[in-house]
Amino acid sequence: MTQKTARPTLQDRFTREEGTLHLTGIQALARLPLDLRRSDLRADRSTAGFVSGYEGSPLAGYDMELERRRSQLDAHDIVFRPGVNEELSATAVQGTQLAAMQPDKRIDGITGIWYGKSPGLDRASDAIRHANLMGTHPDGGVLALVGDDPAAKSSTVPGASELLLADLGIPTLYPSDPQEALDFGLHGVAMSRASGLWVALKIVLGPWFRPVFRVLAAMRHARGTRLDPFGAAGMRRVERALVVEYEDMIARACLALGPHNHALTVELAELPDMVRGYEEIKTAAVARYRAEAARLLERLGQPLQDAAAKGTTAP
């Protein structure tokens, strides 16, 4: 009588260390920091991990996948901190390479991972150039995940980062599938530790996704109508409600505007900068935004309209 093999679970994609796994590209990149730590543990290295960046297609959803894996990241001594923008994330990752030099250190090195779309690489290039000139720790290393969109399928202009990465002095690896994303990620960190340089992984959407973009492009005239396939999504309803709430909030704040509360009104007008990210991260940001708006409006003497009464909160 043969023994039955346990049916694989979705959790196996991030916990199993042997056998065949089915992973999307984003899932492979989310598993990468875990595999880096496991590799170090097998080699008896005392290390930790740090991941920071700013989302954007084709890396859209990477931060969400990491957030779902928060408990596993914590268990492996990996800190995930989404950045306000790409350059602040880059300087945070740069700082990880100095941590092991501190007198109160508890580990030998920190592996840093920065992620961003090619326009984000553009705006963070000065921070990354200085970080690369500073170098990486031999027990740490830095991997930059750069999302490119050479066909401008989800961008205003085509994006390809090879020339800029070369100008920054960053070696670049180009994985073609999820397996290579894992293999090249491990190899890239080893290169970074040996050379003292940041190492980049160029990430693009595969040709298989082009028919999806063609369908979405053909449906562009349905956006905002009843036929919009994304219009019924909870987050889309919240986004549309936020516009109405903001216009009403500013209109009522202006009624009370005067020299005595000008600074408070400006602070209120700048609140939308709090709303960033995708899905769960954005939902949490919206909750913080609404709470802060209510607090500031109360100080202005203009109570906030209850959005929940209008049915505009996410389900």
In a domain, 148, yes or no: yes
Do 182 and 247 belong to one domain? no
For residue 140, what pLDDT is reported?
A: 96
Q: What string of H, E and C letters represents the secondary structure of 78-122? A: EEECCCCCHHHHHHHHHHHHHHCCCCCCCCCEEEEEEEEEHHHHH
φ/ψ of 6, rounded to 5, equals -60, 135
Q: Give Cα separations from 307 to 265, 280, 284, 299 (angstroms).
A: 20, 19, 15, 19
Do 146 and 193 belong to one domain? yes
- Rounded-to-integer distance, Cα 58 and Cα 213, Å: 12
Do 192 and 265 belong to one domain? no
Report CA Rg, the chain.
Answer: 23
For residue 90, what pLDDT is reported?
A: 96
Number of DSSP helices (H) and strands (E) in the chain, helices first: 13, 6
In a domain, 285, yes or no: yes
For residues 277, 283, 286, 287, the Cα torsion angle rounded to the nearest 10 degrees is -140
Do 197 and 62 belong to one domain? yes
Q: Model-level pTM?
A: 0.67
Do 239 and 200 belong to one domain? no
In three-state secondary structure terms, 142 is strand
* Token representation of residue 246: 């903001």
Q: At 74, which helix (H) or strand (E)?
A: helix 70-75
In a domain, 4, yes or no: no
Please, which residues have CB within 8 angstroms of residue 178's CB and are 6 or more apart in sequence? 23, 24, 25, 27, 28
Do 250 and 152 belong to one domain? no
- Rounded-to-integer distance, Cα 71 and Cα 66, Å: 10
Do 133 and 47 belong to one domain? yes
In a domain, 281, yes or no: yes
* Token representation of residue 11: 């959790």
Do 263 and 197 belong to one domain? no
* Token representation of residue 137: 């720790």
- CB-CB contact of 59 with 116 (8 Å): yes
For residue 278, what pLDDT is reported?
A: 67
In a domain, 229, yes or no: no
* Token representation of residue 219: 């449906």
* Token representation of residue 121: 């690489």
- Rounded-to-integer distance, Cα 8 and Cα 19, Å: 10
In a domain, 67, yes or no: yes
Domain, as residue range, for 257: 234-310
φ/ψ of 266, rounded to 5, equals -65, -45
| Count: domains in the chain | 2
Do 117 and 256 belong to one domain? no
Do 264 and 195 belong to one domain? no
Burial of 133 (0-12, 13-18, 19+ CB in 10 A): exposed
CATH number at residue 42: 3.40.50.970
Do 154 and 259 belong to one domain? no
In a domain, 219, yes or no: no
For residue 5, what pLDDT is reported?
A: 60
Question: Mind listing the pLDDT tens digit of every residue in the chain (315 residues)?
Answer: 455 566 667 778 888 888 888 888 889 999 999 999 999 999 999 999 999 999 876 787 889 899 989 999 999 999 999 998 999 999 999 999 998 888 888 999 999 999 999 999 999 999 999 999 999 999 999 999 999 988 777 677 788 899 999 999 999 999 988 999 999 999 999 999 999 999 999 998 765 556 655 666 666 666 666 666 555 567 777 887 888 888 888 888 888 788 888 888 888 888 888 887 766 778 888 899 999 988 888 888 755 454 334 444 433
Q: Give Cα separations from 201 to 11, 48, 86 (angstroms).
A: 25, 20, 16
In a domain, 227, yes or no: no
Do 168 and 98 belong to one domain? yes
